[in-house]
Each structure stands twice: as structure tokens, then as C-alpha cells.
Amino acid sequence: MKFFTTVESLLSERFGIVPSTLGPNVLTLAVKRRCDALSCNHRFEYLEKLQTEADEMMALIDEIVVPESWFFRDVVPFERLSQALAKRVKEYTPLTPLRVLSVPCAHGEEPYSIGISLLNLGLKTDAFYIKGVDVSQRVLTKARQGVFNSLSFRGENLDFRDYYFEPQENNRYRIKEPLRSHVTFEVANITDPLVLFQDSPYDVIFCRNVLIYFDGPSRERTLRNLDRLLNPNGLLFVGHAEANSAVGRLFAAKNWPGAFAYGKLPVSPKASRPPLRPKKVAVKRSPAFPPDRNVPASVSEKTESQPRPSGQPPQERQQKAKATAKLTYNLSEAHRLADAGQMQEAMKICDKYLEVNGPSSQALFLIGIMYLAGEEKTKARKLLEQAVYLNPQNQEAMNLLSHIASSQGDQAEAKRWKDRLNRVATREVSP
């Protein structure tokens, strides 16, 4: 079974998917279909193609993840969204549109359902912006066409189909303009730490029925991405099987039965968000910035049991502690500015932080991300390597370094970082 173990590992590394969660024999049948399509006589001949041809990896994922959806699936989230927005319709204009993200969007039923809900509220198409995201180019091609068969329409009330769709041949229906061309689609992987990094935050995110298929690290990265992409007062909708404690550590559940809706947890400037899973230490760490080797006590989470510096008066220690706390907040502010696209302001704060505190994995990691966002991969790579040197447990930096090396054609280096990341992650989750 070494062949299938290797394929599962490749799928997990690239997409975070655990094939066994999709049902028995799904991977076996998918590989067989691809081998038949490519006329591969031996499994390991196919494995070589899978490891060297990016298009084949996408073809396999298309076979594994067969998206089944329909309009207004689990209708309660759409109803609750409409109720939440009913009194705010006038707030949204072409200059201040409502921003909505649907991920994964599959063939487009979900984002178009959202659009229909907004039109029913009285919003014009230029008063909202909807983006559908999926890893599969094949399903997005169909989503852009906006043509659906009868299986996409279920339930007793199908009045919306008569109003928003045009009948086509063979019992098919095409969504009408202007909604069809107003919903945009993009190929992206929600587990990628830099997914949609250039996008402004969204007011509403639908991310339903996908977290259950991810392994632990991929689920954690996805939740962090959703936290980054959601406005402070935004709404997140997840699937019924995903409304668990992992989501609840970053988001506050709404008391809307059947909607599985969340808002952001309020976070004070001096507080960090709680970790997504229990750590082996009692203190809380900011998920975006792991602790450093060479930073002041309040930043690196040293304890009060450490010996005090000899000869330092208590008043001076208090002043230094206050200054350090302020700088810690400033670094959080730098992260907020970077998320908002204000890179120069964020960079200035990071530079000042390094000047006062010395080498910091947190600051170098953030600067590296900003350089990466500006497509300066060589600089980003150097900074992220320094961040890992200062904090050998910085898994996010390792993951980014693997992605950068792969994008630059250095597959050996990419594998080295991926292997190191896996070793660290395995040690962290071990009892």
C-alpha cells in the first residue's frame, strides 16, 4: 500500500485533504480513472506523473472532490443573512459595497444563491461584490457559465428559478444577467497562508462543508485565513458538522439555530487571540507570532520565576515592562496595518521594534510576509529563514519557505522545509 500512502501524502501536502474522510475507495477509484485516461500501465508510472506534472495533481483532485451542491442548500443560513442585512440595505452603495466570499464555491450554486438573496433584499448588483473561490479550475469554468441542470434545484419552493433563470435545452437553466457576470470567480487554495492576501476584508464569508475534509494543520491555517479575511463586524457561516470548538476559539457563535453562524471574538489591543488547539504550556500565545529566542520577557513569555537582573531598581523594571508591553502592542498594530494593505506604516513599526528589542522572530516573520506580498521572494526567503533560526518552532515560516522554494523551482529545498515542518508538527501534537 506504499503507493496510496504516497499519494495521500501528496494530497495532504498540497491541499490538506485527507482522502479517507471522503468515503471508502474514493482515492482508489479516482486513481484508476486517471490511470485509464492516461493509459498508464503501472501505478508508479502514474505516481511519477503526479509528482512532476502540476496539471495532473489538479486532475486527480477533480476526480476525488466531486462537488455536490444545490441552490439555497440548508436554507437557514441564507434566511439569517437576509434578516441580518435587512435594516442595513441603504448602507451599501457602489462606493461602499457589501463584500461576500464563498469558499469553496464548487459550480457556483452558493455564491449565486447569495446574490439572489441580496437582490431580493433590494440591493442593486453594484452595491455588492461576491467572489467564489475553489481549487478546481474545471468547476469554476462551469460556475462562470452559470448553467445548471435540474439536480441543482431542490425543495418545494422554486419560484426563484422562474425569476432569475432562463430555460435552456435538456432541462437546464442559465442564470440571468446582470447577476451572472457580477459574481467573480478565482482559483485559490484556502489552506495557503497567503490566500487572497491582496483582497480587502469581507463582510460575509461562507465556508461550509470543507473543514471536515482537512487534516489538523490545514484546518488551523484555514481558520487563521478566515480570521484575517473577515471584517471585525463580519459574519462567518460554516457547515453543521464544523460548528465545533476549533472554530469557536477564533469566532463567537451567533444564537441563530440552524445557521451555524459566527462573528469575530472581540480582542483588546493588549490581548492575543487564543490558540486554535491546546498547547503544552499554560500561557497563551499569539498564533501569528510564535515566541522568540531573543526578546524581552513579556514578549517571549518568560515567567516571573526567572532571576531579576542584579542592581536594577524596581521602578526601572516597571518602566521597562511598560515600554515592552507598548512595543508588543505596536507589533500587533503592525500586523493589523499589514492586513489592511498599509505596508509602509507596518514596516516602520517593525523596524522600530527591532531597533529597541533586537532580533525578533515575530517582527522578521511579518516583514518577510510583506516582502512576499510585494513579490520580493528572495528578500522574503532570507527574512523567514532568520525567523526560523530565532524560533525553530515557527511552523508558518517553514510552510512559507517551502512554498517560496517550490515557486522558484528549488524542489529539493521545498521538500527540506516541508520535512522539517512535519517533524515539528509531529512533535507538537505528540502526547
For the domain that residue 259 is a member of, what is the CATH number? Answer: 3.40.50.150
pLDDT: which is higher, 179 or 352: 179
Q: Do 114 and 255 have their domain in common?
A: yes
Tens digits of per-residue pLDDT, 283-330?
333 333 333 333 333 333 333 333 334 444 555 555 554 454 445 547
Q: Which amino acid is at 181?
A: S
Number of neighbouring beta carbons within 10 Å of residue 347: 17
| Whole-number pLDDT of residue 267 | 62
Q: Do 52 and 141 have their domain in common?
A: no
Q: Do 80 and 180 have their domain in common?
A: yes
Is 279 within a domain? no
Rounded distance between C-alpha atoms, residue 366 and residue 334, angstroms: 8
Is 282 within a domain? no
| Whole-number pLDDT of residue 404 | 84
Strands 98-102 and 230-238: unpaired
* Contact of 251 with 263, CB cutoff 8 Å: yes
Pick from 228, 200, 255, 239: nearest CA to 83: 255
Place of cell 496510496: 4
Average pLDDT, the chain: 79
Q: Mean per-residue pLDDT for 275-289? A: 36
Quick one: cell of 105? 464555491
Could you give the angle at which helices 109-121 and 76-85 cross, rounded to 10 degrees?
40
Is 288 within a domain? no
What are 165's strand-pairing partners? 175
Pick from 133, 114, 128, 118: nearest CA to 75: 114
Rounded distance between C-alpha atoms, residue 176 and residue 190, angstroms: 29
Residue 16 sits in which domain range?
Answer: 2-64
Q: Do 161 and 116 have their domain in common?
A: yes
pTM score? 0.61
Is 137 within a domain? yes
Is 291 within a domain? no
Q: Do 59 and 123 have their domain in common?
A: no
* Contact of 207 with 157, CB cutoff 8 Å: no
Is 275 within a domain? no
Q: Do 52 and 88 have their domain in common?
A: no
Q: Do 7 and 153 have their domain in common?
A: no
Domain C-terminal end among 35, 64, 93: 64
* Largest interatomic CA distance in the chain: 87
Is 277 within a domain? no
Is 134 within a domain? yes
Q: Do 113 and 162 have their domain in common?
A: yes
pLDDT: which is higher, 316 or 414: 414
Domain C-terminal end among 15, 34, 64: 64
Could you give the angle at which helices 361-373 and 314-339 cross, rounded to 10 degrees?
20
Number of structural domains the chain divides into: 3
Q: Do 126 and 20 have their domain in common?
A: no
Q: Do 233 and 108 have their domain in common?
A: yes
Q: Do 159 and 60 have their domain in common?
A: no
pLDDT at 61 over 50: yes
Q: Do 257 and 125 have their domain in common?
A: yes
